[in-house]
Amino acid sequence: MASIVGAVNDFRRLDLLATGETGMHRLDARAKVLVTLGFILTVVSLGKYELAALFPFFLYPAVIMALGNLPVRHIAKKVVLVLPFALMVGMFNPLFDQTVLVRLGPIGISGGWLSCASILVRATLTVGAALILVGITGFPAICQALDQLGMPRIFTVQLLFLYRYLFVLIEEGSRTARARDLRAFGKKGLGWRSYGSLLSHLLLRTWLRAERIHLAMLARGFTGEFHPRRTTRFGGKEVLFVAGWSGLFLVFRLFNVSQLLGTIVTGEF
């Protein structure tokens, strides 16, 4: 139960980070969505062996977290949770791709190790960028921005409902787990056999509560329109924000900045 409560607190903390009043928070959500999308597309477009070219992209999350006053440790913990799944994707690359591409003195590094490390770095960058976007914008504002950018409203509304339903599911799961523990005198009924009925009751309870929430929304006149926490407009600051970061991403994509800096430092430029 403690882990469920911790998950609820983590979700709420990430959602509450968007209530800040920094300059990054006050930017129009469409600008932040476009820059994040451009960042992710640029990162994933690099070749599987271009590991060094990925490191300059860490400048973007570092700057945005600093300007948005986001807790680095909290974001890092969320990213670390995803890395095992990324490792599962690339863990067999060193076995199938053993061609040596880089030599560090007597040590040869194969393409499989480079591609595996590249997958981990890409996962860190892309997942971190998505979490930072939620932290400085808020998921409802992101859904509204996607709606304004042309995504069909039915998809944006479903995304918003899915996000909110996670809170309902976790809260009901916490209540169900607490009730199960209180009724398990002498630890009876805590075995694996109880999980089937537990999950079915959890699904039924969340479904019924979601129905009540939907009826309450209809009673209050919900028609699918978004009501953002703050009203913004796409102005000059947003244009500079999108153009500046997009230009920097293009430079990082076309030129291996890490290699250029290394060449300058070693005096071989």
Can you tell me the mean pLDDT for 36-48? 92
C-alpha dihedral sign at 196, 199, 201, 203:
negative
Can you tell me the mean pLDDT for 219-229? 72
Task: Give the model's confidence band at 127: pLDDT under 50 very low, under 70 low, under 90 confident, else very high.
Answer: very high
Helix (H) or strand (E) holding 117: helix 111-137
Is the pLDDT at 1 greater than 50, yes or no? no
Task: Give the model's confidence band at 78: pLDDT under 50 very low, under 70 low, under 90 confident, else very high.
Answer: confident
Q: Which residues pair with 100 in a beta bridge?
A: 110
DSSP string, 17-43: GGG--SHHHHS-HHHHHHHHHHHHHHH
pLDDT in tens, 87-100: 888 888 877 877 77
* Torsion on CA atoms 75, 79, 81, 84, rounded to nearest 10: -160
pTM over 0.85: no
pLDDT in tens, 171-196: 777 777 777 777 666 565 566 666 66
pLDDT for 244: 94
Distance, in Å, from the CA atom of 178 to the CA atom of 187, rounded to the nearest integer, reads 13
Give me the chain's average pLDDT, please.
81
Task: Give the model's confidence band at 217: pLDDT under 50 very low, under 70 low, under 90 confident, else very high.
Answer: confident
34/144: higher pLDDT: 34
- Torsional class of 105: left (φ above 0), alpha (ψ -120 to 50), beta (otherwise): left
Percent of residues, the chain, with pLDDT higher than 90: 21
57 near 42, Cβ under 8 Å? Answer: yes
pLDDT for 144: 85
- Which token pair is 84? 């095992």
Question: 3-class DSSP state for residue 107?
Answer: strand
Task: Give the model's confidence band at 247: pLDDT under 50 very low, under 70 low, under 90 confident, else very high.
Answer: very high
Half-sphere exposure for 101 (CA within 13 Å, toward CB): 13
Which of 32, 54, 26, 39 lies closest to 246, judged by CA? Answer: 39
Strands of 68-127, DSSP E: 100-104, 107-110
Domain spans, the chain: 1-138+233-250, 151-228
